């Protein structure tokens, strides 16, 4: 039997430090086993990380994101890449998170250092696949990614 896993300031500090030391500026802490049907994780994120717009097409891949610490900018897009909604997700703020239905393009930017996000969606883990990457936005590591990320951040200036 797995022991209780506490979501506390010690976990947050460790994730923030690991994210800061990571080349991708993010670090996951999973609370689930890979074979479990519900995947739950805390994610430490720094402002330099790039999470490009994407969607999850499988009918069972609804996704819930909650700001546990810090601030995030969430952008929702239509099929052509036009922003349809944007929200600041902030721990203790007016909007703490979002529950996304499958098929909705979304992208996230980190607006405050040492931010922590809770993510929950159905397992098993599957990388973003064909038709799920936003065709109008560069993928992580591609030319133009830094410029696109800067544009995303500017939506919350």
Rg of the chain on CA atoms, in Å: 15
Average confidence (pLDDT) over 37-62: 95
- Residue 1, pLDDT above cutoff 80: no
Give the model's pLDDT for residue 92.
96
Angle at CA 138, nearest 5°, toward 80 and 84?
35
Average pLDDT, integer, range 108-134: 91
**How many angstroms separate the CA atoms of 129 and 29, rounded?**
22
What 8-state DSSP symbol labels residue 24? Answer: T
Task: Identify the pLDDT of residue 110.
Answer: 98
Q: What's the Cα-to-Cα distance from 4 to each of 7, 20, 32, 63, 65, rounded to whole Å?
A: 10, 26, 11, 23, 21
% of the chain with per-residue pLDDT over 90: 86
Q: Could you give the domains of the chain?
A: 9-154 (2.60.120.10)
Residue 5 clears pLDDT 80, i.e. is over it: yes
Confidence (pTM): 0.93
* Cα gap 60→155, rounded to integer Å: 30
Q: Write the CB contacts of 83 (distance below 8 Å, at least 6 apart in sequence).
A: 75, 76, 77, 155
Residue 131: pLDDT band (50, 70, 90) is confident
């Amino acid at each position: 039997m797995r022991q209780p896993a506490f979501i506390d300031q010690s976990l947050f500090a460790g994730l923030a430090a690991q994210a800061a030391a990571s080349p991708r500026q993010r670090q996951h802490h999973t609370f689930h086993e890979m074979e479990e049907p519900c995947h739950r994780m805390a994610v430490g994120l720094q402002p330099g990380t790039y999470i490009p717009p994407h969607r999850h097409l499988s009918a069972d891949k609804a996704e819930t994101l909650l700001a546990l610490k810090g601030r995030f900018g969430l952008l929702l897009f239509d099929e052509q890449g036009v922003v349809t909604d944007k929200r600041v997700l902030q721990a203790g703020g007016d909007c703490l998170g979002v529950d996304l239905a499958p098929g909705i393009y979304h992208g996230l930017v980190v607006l405050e250092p040492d931010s922590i996000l809770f993510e929950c969606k159905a397992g098993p883990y599957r990388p973003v696949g064909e038709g799920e990457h936003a065709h109008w936005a560069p993928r992580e590591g591609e030319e133009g990614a830094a410029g696109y990320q800067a544009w995303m951040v500017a939506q919350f200036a």
